[in-house]
Amino acid sequence: MSRFQLPASLRQTRNYVDGEFVATAKTFHNICPVDGAVLADVHEADKALVDRAVAAARRAVEGEWGQADAAERARYLYRVADIIERRFEAFLAAEVADTGRPLSQARQLDIYRGIHNFRTFADLAKVANTDFFETRLGDGTRLINYVTRKPLGVVASISPWNLPILSLTWKAAPALICGNAVVCKPSEETPSSATLVAEAFDEAGVPAGVFNVIHGFGPGSAGEFLSTHPDIDAITFTGESRTGTAIMKAAAEGVKEVSFELGGKNAAVVFADADFEAAVEGIVRSSFTNAGQVCLCSERVYVERSIFDRFVAALKARTEALKVSWPDDEGVFMGSLISREHREKVLSYFDLAVQEGATVVTGGTVPVFGDERDNGAYVLPTIWTGLPDDARCMREEVFGPVCHIAPFDSEEEVLRRVNDSAYGLAASIWTTNLSRAHRVSPKIHVGIVWVNTWFSRDLRTPFGGGKLSGIGREGGRYSLDFYSETTNVCVKV
């Protein structure tokens, strides 16, 4: 039995379809990555249940939900947010048990973001305006043009296992406030918080079919049944770039709208004029938060040569002082990876780096605790140096607690190396030179550049990436744009 327990209602984790919790004949285990114990049996949705969910969502969009105005829908979303807030501890327990993430970090970020996503998008949609243009043609005819927004319809939302409640609500909240109905497919690794969100929708009295959760895997399971369903109108997906390719192929049939938030191989650049201590602290956070399992983590760190040796030594000392332990231990910084399977992938990169010529500055192995954690999925935070820019470990996303540090000599050179990547999600730069910060930031080919910070977010700003990191932007009005269909009404005056 695990030291981490799910709320009782989740021991049999069921689907939520058309306003009902639905069990199925086929179940799979939800395994706690901290100690390898079974947390729950999860009921896998078959094709018939996915069909039911999509049909229920269609009825909801065509019914009162689709017809309601934003203020009415907002009332429901506020209620959902209030229920999550009231059940905060249950959400926290579920998120930590599923992910192995430090309790204090999940307490500060994840559950609040779930609540804020509902409140923020409810508020935004209530005050959102649309465009209006007055036009005069060459012959003197006067026109007025105004733009109306309508729901897209049934939105399929497929989310990953890292930061599960954050990613699920980040998509569901704007989709719903725009009048769509959603069918959510959380990751098979982390089904719990999505099911608790379904409980909140149920308690809030949101009409049946508006919010649905189906459980299962990707290919040959709920993920594929949903993304290939002919009666969905759009797919919003967060996950690996390779999965994005498979989903985009499915979306091509029927020309569905897609919004993709995919992988990253993000760079951090530390200039010699940076606040040294703040930069060391920043890189520790940006490389090792959530055991490196944040799409925004920096796996490529470039440090100006004059401070390189000192920086590597300081980062090594700081990293070795990080507490890797139980998620609920006092002062813990890093818990486990998400699963043994994912650990195999991360460890294969640890081996590959050595084959490719890396110097392992610290880490590179599995810690031994002498207790149940040895059945979990832990690795040590790891720093490499000495890899060439074309090494696979410098080009492929590891998605573990690892960074490579390379020296650089000039701004031009580092920009070229930072941009030489198949990914384009995020970057951070560390400098006290204001002109340099503004000069360099827009030249980096990514969706977000942080200056002297990392992971700070305002939900009104656009979020997303280019190249292999995604398609489109979500956040603030960018989300409202994606989740709505507009019609331009052109009137001769």
Active site residue ranges? 261
* One-letter amino acid for residue 367 of the chain: P
Minimum distance of ligand NAD from residue 264's CB (angstroms): 5
Alpha helix positions (H), 100-163: 103-105, 111-127
Containing 307, the helix (H) or strand (E) segment is helix 305-320
Kindly give, in sequence order, each residue whose CB lies less than 8 Å from that of residue 77, ignoring residues fewer than 6 positions away: 118, 119, 121, 122, 173, 176, 177
Residue 1: both structure tokens together: 């039995």
Minimum distance of ligand NAD from residue 125's CB (angstroms): 22
Residue 138: both structure tokens together: 């060459």
Q: Which of residues 159 and 362 has its CB atom nearest to ligand NAD in the complex?
A: 159
Alpha helix positions (H), 178-301: 192-204, 222-227, 241-252, 276-288
Site stretch for ligand NAD (CB under 6 A), options 65-73, 111-119, 259-267, 310-318: 259-267
- CB nearest ligand NAD: which residue? 218
Minimum distance of ligand NAD from residue 234's CB (angstroms): 14
Q: Which of residues 238 and 325 has its CB atom nearest to ligand NAD in the complex?
A: 238
Q: What are phi and psi of 29, to 5 degrees?
A: -85, 140
Minimum distance of ligand NAD from residue 69's CB (angstroms): 30
Q: Which of residues 74 and 246 has its CB atom nearest to ligand NAD in the complex?
A: 246
Does the footprint of ligand NAD cover residue 295 (CB under 6 A)? Answer: yes
Q: Which of residues 77 and 247 has its CB atom nearest to ligand NAD in the complex?
A: 247
Kindly give, in sequence order, each residue whose CB lies less than 8 Å from that of residue 339, ignoring residues fewer than 6 positions away: 31, 33, 189, 377
User: Rule CB under 6 A: which of 375-404 touch ligand NAD?
Assistant: 397, 399
Q: Which of residues 193 and 469 has its CB atom nearest to ligand NAD in the complex?
A: 469
Greatest Cα pair distance, the chain, in angstroms, is 85
Helix axes 88-99, 70-86, angle to 10 degrees: 70
Kindly give, in sequence order, each residue whose CB lies less than 8 Å from that of residue 197, ignoring residues fewer than 6 positions away: 80, 84, 114, 165, 168, 169, 172, 211, 213
- Using CA atoms, how far apart are residues 315 and 322, in angstroms rounded to an integer? 11
Does the footprint of ligand NAD cover residue 329 (CB under 6 A)? Answer: no
Q: Which of residues 75 and 392 has its CB atom nearest to ligand NAD in the complex?
A: 392
User: Rule CB under 6 A: which of 143-182 touch ligand NAD?
Assistant: 158-162, 167
Pairing of strands 448-451, 426-430: parallel
Does the footprint of ligand NAD cover residue 227 (CB under 6 A)? Answer: yes
Among 13, 99, 120, 187, binds ligand NAD (CB under 6 A): 187
Mask of contacts with ligand NAD, 437-476, x by CB under 6 A? ----------------------------x---xx------
| Contacts with ligand NAD, residue ranges (CB under 6 A) | 158-162, 167, 185, 187-188, 217-219, 223-224, 227, 238-240, 243, 246-247, 261-264, 295, 397, 399, 425, 465, 469-470
